Amino acid sequence: MNIAAKPPLTIRLCGPRGFCAGVDRAIQIVVLALKSYGAPVYVRHEIVHNRYVVEGLEAKGAVFVEELDEIPAEHRAQPVVFSAHGVPKSVPEDAASRNLFYLDATCPLVSKVHKQAMRHNRLGRHVVLIGHAGHPEVIGTMGQLPEGTVSLIETIEDADAYAPVDPDNLGYVTQTTLSVDDTAGVIARLQERFPKLTAPAADSICYATTNRQEVVKQAAPGCDLFIIVGAPNSSNSKRLVEVALRAGAKKSILVQRAAELDWEEIGAISTLGLSAGASAPEVIVNEIIEAFRARFDARVELAETVQETENFLVNRELRSIELTAADMAFVNG
């Protein structure tokens, strides 16, 4: 019996992809806290937006809670970690009032946005935050300032409808994980309507978001399908799906694991684009490549624009603890 040859497939694998320095740091903080203090280590909210990562940390002894009052009294000497997305000022204040020991895993680039917003406020400007309502990062940024001093703008339509009390005294910041192109359009409209709008001292959209979008733009033309590995609640992953479609991919989908792939729907393809959001581990990228290799004669091409060398230090309390490759193998392979 002749076994049919596998159809050829070119996989354009994007680089950079996957974990950014802020996500890597946040996961390391939980892993090191478990090594240093033992289980359980509590984590307020998902440490990053990825179920595989969360479940991997749970297997090591992390316990995820939505609010601090869920931590039982007998475990209040154990550390609680705040997620990479950042938290309102009220959260560390609440932790202090409960005598909890907390480790803040807020991405330094999100903290930078907090400082930019606070600077606008300190200089008497009303803060315009460009971002997505309900996203933890937006909640955290708005929570740095007194109520009523921040206005959230999501779209160009919002920018058109915005009616500030003092249009000559505004300063803006943005969520770090937005579409670069969409955000530029919103900022341009706000600047058109409010010429005295003050920009932040540095771009709020983080380097990792920009880099991942740029390489997807480069790789997308001619792709029959573009797969983004990421979670449905991951803002930067969803933006990559949109970027791939706009840049010329015939179809783009968001996938959490290889088991979600619908092979009938994928059908006959010859060129596949593949990238991963900043919260998606490399082990899942490899899992998806292997799933395609089982069905196609797949050849992987690296589509790379830049190499990222950023590294953010963990909290001082954890820097003396050794972090090994085995500690992070559950996400890095």
Q: What are the binding residues?
A: 20, 49, 85, 107, 135, 176, 206, 234-236, 279
Asked if residues 113 and 22 have their Cβ atoms less than 8 Å apart, the reply is no
Asked if residues 102 and 78 have their Cβ atoms less than 8 Å apart, the reply is no
Asked if residues 128 and 153 have their Cβ atoms less than 8 Å apart, the reply is yes
Q: What is the DSSP letter of 3?
A: P
End-to-end Cα spacing for the chain: 38
> Is 137 assigned a catalytic role?
yes
Q: Which of 297, 292, 306 is nearest to 14 (CA)?
A: 306
Give me the catalytic one of 66, 93, 137, 282: 137
Contacts of 177 (CB under 8 A, 6+ apart): 137, 205, 206, 209, 234, 235, 236, 239, 278
Buried b (16+ CB within 10 A) or exposed e, 138-158: bbbbbbbbeeeebbbbbeeeb
Kindly state the tokens that stand for 197. Answer: 């709008």
Distance CA 88, CA 72 (A): 22
- Binding-site residues for [4Fe-4S] cluster: 20, 107, 206
Distance CA 292, CA 247 (A): 23
**DSSP per position, 5-64:** PPPEEEEEEEES-S--HHHHHHHHHHHHHHHHH-S-EEEES-SSS-HHHHHHHHHHTEEE
Enzyme catalytic residues: 137
